[in-house]
Amino acid sequence: MDQAYRNKFKDLLLNFKQEGRNQRFNQKKIDQLTQELNELRLVDPIRQRALWNQATQQELADLRSKLEEKELALEHLQSEVDEMESTGALRSPGGGPGTRSLKSKIKELEDERKVLKRKISDKDIEIRSLTSKINHMEKSAVGQKSFSGSEDEKGTLIQLLMSQLKGANIEPILEVVGLEEAKERMKNAVSLMLQGDIEAEAVFDKWDTYIRAHPDYVRDEARKLAEWTESTKRDCDIALQLMLSYIPGDIFNISKAELINRGVSPALARRIFDKKVLWWLRLPNQSTIAKMHGADLTYKYSMQGLDLVETQAVWAVVPDKFENDRSGEKEQWRQNCLLKLRELTKKRDKGTLAKKEVRAAAYNDQIGLFDPETGLRVAGLENKPVVEMRPKTPSRKSVGGLKSSNDLMGAIGRRKSVGDLNTNDLMGAIGKRKSLGDKKKTNDLMGAISKRKSNGDKTDSGDLMGAIAKRKSDGDKKATSNLMGAIAEKKSDEGKMPTSSNDLMSNILARKVEPSISDKIEPDSKSMTPKQATPEHGSPNSRRLLSAIKVKKIRSRSIKKENARYADKNEVGASEANQQALSNLSEAPPGIRTPKKAEVLPEDNGDSNAQTLLDIIQAQRRL
C-alpha cells in the first residue's frame, strides 16, 4: 500500500469522524464517505496487489532472460575449453593461464545460473501467492459491493440478516458505536449489577456480545492469538521431540505387552495405550488427522487428562483446519485443545500448575528409549525396574493378641479341614463381640478354643463353636453372652481350664442347671422371665438358658422320629432324661415357639439334665 493511498484513507477517515462529532446529519454525505472508505479498504488493495503481481511477473521475465544469457555464455565458454583440450593446450598439469581463466569463468557462470534459478523459483511462488490473495479479495469485494449498493439493496440485506439472527434466537443490536464506547457501557452495566439492578444483566449481555462481534476486537484477538502461538511454537516442538522418544514407530501394530517387553514401564505403557491421541505423534502423514471423524476426536482421541508436555506435543501436530466439518464439531475440538493448552501455560507462568499437570506420574524415573526420527529402540538405554508394591494385609494381632490370633487361626483351619460350614459363623460371632467392645470375653473364648485344641478334643470343641454360632445366627445374643460368661467365669475360677471338653461342658451346665431342674420348675413358673426367676426355680443363668432353649421351638414329633431312627439302627434309645425334657417342653406356654427340627443323642453316664442340654445344643448345631 503506497503513501498516496495511506494519505487518502486518513483524510477520508478524519472527515467521517468530524461529521460524527459535529452531528451534521447529512446522510447522503456520510453514505458517500462510507462507500469510499469501503472501496479503499477492499478494492484498492486488490488493485495494489494486482500491480504487485504485474511487477513480479515483469521481474520474473527479466530473470529468465538473464538466465538465458548466462546459459549462452556458459555454452560458449564450454566450447572454447573443449577446443583447447583437443589441441593439447591442457596437457600440462596446471594448464595455461588462459585455460585457468576460462575454467574460473565457467565456475562463476554456473554459480550465477544456480542463483538465477533459485530467484525464478521464488518469484513463481510469490506470483502464485499474489494470485490467490487477489482472487480471495475479489470475492470479498463482490460481497462488500453488494452491501454498499443501492439503498434498496442495503435495506433488503439488512432485513435478511436480522431475520437470520432472530431465527437463531439472537437479539440483533441496531445501535452502532465504537469499540471503546461499547466497553464503557459494559462497565457501567457491571456497576449497576453490583448495586442490585436486575435489568442491568441484560444490558451487560448485550454489550458483551457486541464487543465480541466487533471487527476491531476480532482483529485484536486474532493478532494476540497469532503472537501467542508463535511464542509457544518452540516449546511445542521440543515437547514433540521428547514425547517421540517414549513412543515407538510401530505403535499402531504392537500390543501393550510388547511395549513392556521393550523396556517401557507397565504404568507408562498403560498410559500410552489409554491416551491414544499420543499415537498421532507417529502418524506419517498429518492429513490423516484432518480427515478423522468428529466422534473419534471427541471420544477416542480425547485430550482429557493430558499433562502440559503431552498437550504441547499433540498441539504441534494438530492441523490448522479439518476437512468435511459442516457441523463445526471438529473445529470445536481444535478450539478446546487450544484452550486447554493456553490454560496450562497460564498456570505454569503463574506457578499454580499441579504436579500431575506438569508431568504425569507414569513418567517418573523413565527415559525415552526410542529414536525420535526413526522410532526404533535405541541400544544401551535401560529404565530402572519398577517394583509395584503389594497391598498390605491386615495384621492378625487385631483379633486380640498374637498368641490368641494364632490359636484362633488354627481352630478355624481345623474346622475348615473337616468341612464344617459353621466356621463363617464362628468368625462372625467373634467379630461381633469384638466390635461391641467385649474384649475380655473374646479373649476368654480364644483361650477356650486354644485349650480344647491343645488337648486334642475336636468333637466337643466343634460342638461348642456350633452352639455359639447357632445361638448367634438365631439372634439369641443374650443367651450367647451367658454362655460366654460361663466360660470366662470358669476360667477365672481356680485359675485353670477344664482338662477336657466333657468336663468343660459339664461344668458350664452344672453352674447353669441344677441336677433336678425339671422337678424344681413349677408349671406356673415356666412363663416367668429370667429377671423374675428365684433361687428355688434355679439360678438366673439357668433360667435364661432354659428360656433360650424354649424359644428354639423343639417339636416333639421330630424328637420321636429321631429316637425311632436310632432304635432301627440298634442303638441305645433316648434316655429317661430326654423323655423328661420332652414332657417338660411339651407343657411350654402357648406363646413360646419351638424349633422345627432337633436331634437327640444317646444317653451318657454324666448328669442327666446337663446331657440333655448338651444333646439339644448338638442338635441345633446339626441344623
The mean pLDDT value for 384-408 works out to: 48
pLDDT score for 216: 84
The per-residue pLDDT for range 254-272, each reduced to its tens digit, is: 999 999 999 999 999 999 9
pLDDT exceeds cutoff 50 at 158: yes
The per-residue pLDDT for range 269-294, each reduced to its tens digit, is: 999 999 999 999 999 887 889 889 88
Q: Would residue 576 count as lying in a domain?
A: yes
Which of 503, 467, 459, 499 minimizes the C-alpha distance to 484?
A: 467
Residues 438 and 545 in one domain: no
Which residues 6+ apart lie within 8 Å of 117 measured at CB?
67
| pTM for the model | 0.40
**What DSSP character marks residue 530?**
G
Burial class (CB in 10 A: 0-12, 13-18, 19+), 71: middle
CA distance 218 to 332: 18
The per-residue pLDDT for range 330-374, each reduced to its tens digit, is: 988 998 999 999 999 999 999 999 999 999 999 988 888 898 888
Q: Would residue 517 count as lying in a domain?
A: no
Residues 260 and 325 in one domain: yes
Residues 8 and 148 in one domain: yes
Residues 152 and 180 in one domain: no
The mean pLDDT value for 441-457 works out to: 55
Residues 323 and 254 in one domain: yes
Residues 7 and 149 in one domain: yes
pLDDT score for 598: 42
Low-confidence winner among 56-60, 196-200, 393-397, 583-587 (lowest mean pLDDT): 393-397
CA distance 37 to 389: 73
The mean pLDDT value for 424-430 works out to: 56
The per-residue pLDDT for range 83-109, each reduced to its tens digit, is: 776 766 544 445 555 666 777 777 777
Q: Would residue 68 count as lying in a domain?
A: yes
Query: Which of the pair, 322 or 412, is modelled with greater confidence?
Result: 322
The mean pLDDT value for 531-556 works out to: 51
Highest mean pLDDT among 64-68, 331-335, 542-546, 613-617: 331-335
Domain end position, chosen among 363, 394, 420:
363
The per-residue pLDDT for range 21-54, each reduced to its tens digit, is: 554 445 555 566 556 655 555 444 555 556 566 6
pLDDT score for 85: 65
Which residues 6+ apart lie within 8 Å of 321 measured at CB?
290, 331
Residues 238 and 302 in one domain: yes
**Three-class SS of residue 553?**
strand
Q: How far apart are the first and last CA of the chain?
A: 103
The mean pLDDT value for 580-593 works out to: 48
**Three-class SS of residue 377?**
strand
Q: Would residue 601 count as lying in a domain?
A: yes
Residue 594 phi, psi dihedral angles, 5° rounding: -115, 160
The mean pLDDT value for 196-203 works out to: 84
Q: Would residue 397 count as lying in a domain?
A: no
Query: Which of the pair, 459 or 270, is modelled with greater confidence?
Result: 270
pLDDT score for 276: 92
The mean pLDDT value for 235-242 works out to: 92
Which of 141, 621, 205 minimizes the C-alpha distance to 425?
A: 621
pLDDT score for 604: 44
Query: Which of the pair, 470 or 301, is modelled with greater confidence?
Result: 301
The per-residue pLDDT for range 213-233, each reduced to its tens digit, is: 888 888 888 888 888 888 888
Share of the chain above pLDDT 70, in %: 45
pLDDT exceeds cutoff 70 at 248: yes
Highest mean pLDDT among 2-16, 193-207, 573-587: 193-207
- Domain span at residue 466? 403-512
Write down the number of H helices and E strands in the chain. 26, 0
Tell me what the pLDDT averaged over the chain comes to: 67
Residues 60 and 20 in one domain: yes
Query: Which of the pair, 318 or 212, is modelled with greater confidence?
Result: 318
563 pLDDT band (50/70/90 cuts)?
low
Residues 45 and 140 in one domain: yes
Q: How many domains does the chain have?
A: 5
Residues 143 and 107 in one domain: yes
Q: What nine digits make up the cell of 126?
A: 510469490
Query: Which of the pair, 150 or 156, is modelled with greater confidence?
Result: 156
Residues 508 and 534 in one domain: no
**Three-class SS of residue 594?**
strand
Q: Would residue 396 count as lying in a domain?
A: no
Domain end position, chosen among 480, 512, 544:
512
Query: Which of the pair, 475 or 211, is modelled with greater confidence?
Result: 211
309 pLDDT band (50/70/90 cuts)?
very high
The mean pLDDT value for 179-202 works out to: 85
pLDDT score for 621: 62
Which of 408, 460, 509, 473 minimizes the C-alpha distance to 618?
A: 460
pLDDT score for 613: 65
Residues 454 and 557 in one domain: no
* Cβ atoms of residues 383 and 264 within 8 Å: yes
Query: Which of the pair, 245 or 98, is modelled with greater confidence?
Result: 245
Q: Would residue 426 count as lying in a domain?
A: yes
Q: Would residue 460 count as lying in a domain?
A: yes
